[in-house]
Amino acid sequence: MNKPHDDSLDDRLRRSDPAGPGLKASPENLPPTDKVRNPIRDWWLTTSTRVRRSLVGGVGVAAAASVVVAGTFGTASSPLIVMAVNASPESMSSQSASVGDSKMMMMPYLSYEYTAADTLSAATGRGHVYRLDLAGTPETVLHNAAGYFGVSGAPQKSQYFDATWPTYVVGPEDGSAPSISVSWSGTGSWWYSNPAAYPEQNCLHERRVGKGADSYIECTEYEPAITGLNPDETETRQLASEFFAAMGVSFQSADISVMVDDWSSFASIALKVAGQPTAIEWSISWSGNGELSWAQGNSVSIVDAGEFDTVSDVTAVERLADWRWYGAGPTDYNSGMWMMKSSVDPGFGAMEGDVVAVEPVEPTEEPDAAETTEPVQPDPNTPVVDPTDNPTDVDPTDIPTPEPTDIPTPEPTEPEMVVQTITIDEAEPALLLVWDASGGAWLVPGVALTGADSWWQTVITLVEGVIQLPEPIDPMPMD
């Protein structure tokens, strides 16, 4: 089983310190970085070891996050956040091209109407908005993570680098050896991947499919995959605790989510801000052959951007009809994604547990192939058509022309929209992750809503004016 190096956290930090191993730097003696001062790095190099243990040189931020207070405000004269059109930054680079050309979305033929039960609160409130700033640099994040996982190589731009979604990597990107990549936007998320955890399986039996130049070889049976060598639940929790601690994540063992089967072992911990879990997580996993397969984390600092008014739970229900008020919630709420339990059309995409009633059909009796039947004699009175007759000899003028009619051709009609009413009767406060138009990440007040016919749905509860929503997208009927 792969295990990280045993050298201490401070040893890895000293090696990544631009001032040199074992040296204490002062701000005036810091080496230049493109002649631009980096206040985060300056703070890092001049603060105490005790405080620095809450971070890992830009690899992560403590799950019980330390918050820098930027100020407290009751209202906003201008929007604090200009929301992105897309819910996540992965598609920021294609956002202008895809949305700018045609602000249209496919309109389904099933619509939902949400109503608030009497059990929901009609009281307004207040909540804090937190800005997530990148901590460190992509080079320090990669250097420290690569040192922890034993990945060799120098940080460089990824082949998928995009100015609006900058990505850097240590190690090969073709899956031939372990690598670490970091996306320097939003939460500064990084990812470790080990291809040895999923080795290519040998083919035991194969066959040729097709004929000629279009034929190809298809494997019909692979050697069995190695499973069951991954850590059990106790060991997974212990190894994950060591990883989270090395990443500077402050946590309690009970907060670690663990899932184990014969094929993999998985553990994760969520970033907590003001005691509330968020969608920002650190995770680690082992494959069935016992190899450490992947791990991921973030590199952010939390800045309190102020306290703002929020709408009631009853008003939040009204926002369920507008996708622009969506924010990503903690894993407990399925990351804010939602589905309806009772809105599945029979026979189409039926989920597990849904039963489609089908009327039984009696099988028809087919004649036995072995039975023989008497040949049918032709009727002597049936005229015989001469095959030598040429139908092209018919005069076209002898073909009658159909008379025009005044009946108009009916226009195609859209199918009637089916409306399903969903009653929301439960609400829980939540901090939701949202993305602004420039790729920045924020945590905003929200609420998780559910009802008898609904899974959890997460909605932003900030009053209008604090954030600027993207332009609405006109629905377009499906073909």
Residue 301's beta-bridge partner residues?
133
Q: In what order do the strands lie in the sheet with 190-193?
A: 156-157, 167-170, 179-183, 190-193, 292-297, 276-287, 264-273, 257-260
State how far Cα 136 lies from the chain centre: 25
Mean pLDDT across 132-147: 94
Residue 137 reports pLDDT greater than 60: yes
- In terms of domains, do 7 and 124 share one? no
- Boundary of a domain, candidates 30, 53, 76: 53
- In terms of domains, do 15 and 116 share one? no
- In terms of domains, do 126 and 3 share one? no
Six-digit token string for 116: 């608030």
Encode pLDDT of 425-439 as tens digits. 999 999 999 999 988
Q: Is residue 60 included in any domain, yes or no?
A: no
- In terms of domains, do 49 and 77 share one? no
Predicted local distance difference test score (pLDDT) of residue 445: 98
Write the burial class of residue 214 (CB in 10 Å: 0-12 exposed, 13-18 middle, 19+ buried).
exposed
Encode pLDDT of 226-244 as tens digits. 999 999 999 999 999 999 9
**E-assigned strand segments in 6-107:** 67-69, 81-82, 104-107
Residue 209's beta-bridge partner residues?
216
- When pLDDT is cut at 50, 70 and 90, the band that residue 452 belongs to is confident
- In terms of domains, do 3 and 125 share one? no
Predicted local distance difference test score (pLDDT) of residue 130: 98
Predicted local distance difference test score (pLDDT) of residue 413: 67
Instruction: Read off the amino acid at residue 103.
Output: K
Mean pLDDT rounded to a whole number for the chain: 75
Q: Is residue 230 included in any domain, yes or no?
A: no
- In terms of domains, do 316 and 430 share one? yes
Residue 336: DSSP 8-state: G
Give the β-pairing of 474-477 and 104-107: parallel
- In terms of domains, do 14 and 124 share one? no
Encode pLDDT of 247-277 as tens digits. 989 888 899 999 999 999 999 999 999 999 9
Tally the domains of the chain. Answer: 2
- In terms of domains, do 319 and 426 share one? yes
Six-digit token string for 89: 């930054």
Residue 146: DSSP 8-state: H
- Boundary of a domain, candidates 12, 28, 53: 53
Q: Is residue 7 included in any domain, yes or no?
A: yes
Q: The domain containing residue 48 runs over which residues?
A: 1-53
Predicted local distance difference test score (pLDDT) of residue 291: 97
- Boundary of a domain, candidates 11, 29, 53: 53
Q: Is residue 108 included in any domain, yes or no?
A: yes
Encode pLDDT of 366-424 as tens digits. 545 444 445 555 565 655 555 555 555 556 566 666 666 667 777 766 667 788 888 99
Mean pLDDT across 40-68: 44
Q: Is residue 272 included in any domain, yes or no?
A: no
Six-digit token string for 442: 């924020």
Write the burial class of residue 154 (CB in 10 Å: 0-12 exposed, 13-18 middle, 19+ buried).
exposed
Q: Is residue 207 included in any domain, yes or no?
A: no
Residue 177 reports pLDDT greater than 50: yes
Q: Is residue 468 included in any domain, yes or no?
A: yes
Q: Is residue 249 included in any domain, yes or no?
A: no
Predicted local distance difference test score (pLDDT) of residue 3: 46
Distance CA 360, CA 233 (A): 47
**E-assigned strand segments in 348-465:** 418-435, 441-451, 454-460
Predicted local distance difference test score (pLDDT) of residue 113: 87
Distance CA 171, CA 177 (A): 7
Angle of helix 138-149 relative to helix 9-16, nearest 10 degrees, comes to 140
- In terms of domains, do 74 and 115 share one? yes
